[in-house]
Structure 1
């Protein structure tokens, strides 16, 4: 390892959580489902995708892909566990409207494509296309800070875990 490789690795580790899609970042309280908006499953944030392309917010491993393709669980290299739940009441669609590009056990890098959701189909056939992103293993003293508004996929410094 050369001297400059050391700096490259450090910079990548500091990347943090990137935006998952082109669209809008929202507070978790804006999800039209009380389980998510009341943080029963954990703290997080929400996204409203313009194009339906969902990328990994972190470097890590795919822990699970739901059979119904509406949700993916990730474990970041730093141990953070993340549930990406696309839309509200989308489990009832039985996989229709979703195309998955990863499998459980796959290693992913921040920015790798995970799922494509058909936004028009979801808007017409589910309760909502607002998608909660939940950090399922935060400690009691941790919370999520999100800078809401329009966002571009892979954008940095918009989502932060506070201690």
Structure 2
């Protein structure tokens, strides 16, 4: 009975967010691009995709779909900024193989489809289809942890 009184309550930010793409999760440090591997843009992970649909990990808003459609940035209702960068050096494809399903400024719900990607078409044209998922506004003492299909922000 008293255990629950003294148990540290988790902040709302500990609510699970959805991993936005089905596939194998890999450490960001293994991504063959120094900008991501050295976490210059923030902490996160990458996904070796096994599906063609990128889903919203959170309730929030689409901040930007890049003009070349290779990346999308989101802001959760809790203020987390998330960049989903599909593949490496995909900017050179000028949108070929990417079909956005949302627009800049659009309100989104967790699990909502954001984009379709023809990975089979883009795979031979880029160095990698590993898809970094980056949190661009974490505090220095925070880290992204993936557990199954969920991701969390944890304090170090």
> What is the TM-score when the length of structure 2 is the normalising length?
0.87
Higher share in strand: 2
Counterpart Cα distance in 2 of 1:133 and 1:49: 12
Any unmatched runs of 5+ in structure 2?
1-11
Q: Deviations over 1:83-129 (max 9, x none)?
A: 11000000000000100001111111110001111111121111100
Any unmatched runs of 5+ in structure 1?
1-11
More relative contact order, 1 or 2 (CA 8 Å, 6+ apart): 1
Task: Judge conservation of contact 1:26–1:146 (CA < 8 Å) in 2.
Answer: no
| Secondary structure of 1:122 counterpart | helix
Q: Moved runs in structure 1, 4+ residues, more than 4 A?
A: 12-15
Q: Residues 43-58 of structure 1: matches in 2 within 5 Å?
A: 43-58=43-58
Task: Judge conservation of contact 2:14–2:152 (CA < 8 Å) in 1.
Answer: no
> What is the TM-score when the length of structure 1 is the normalising length?
0.83
Residue 160 of structure 1 aligns with which residue? Answer: 152
Which of the pair has more CA radius of gyration?
2
Size of the aligned set, in residue pairs, is 144
Are the structure 2 counterparts of residues 139 and 22 from structure 1 closer, same or farther at C-alpha, using a change threshold of 3 Å?
same
CA RMSD, Structure 1 to Structure 2 (Å): 1.6
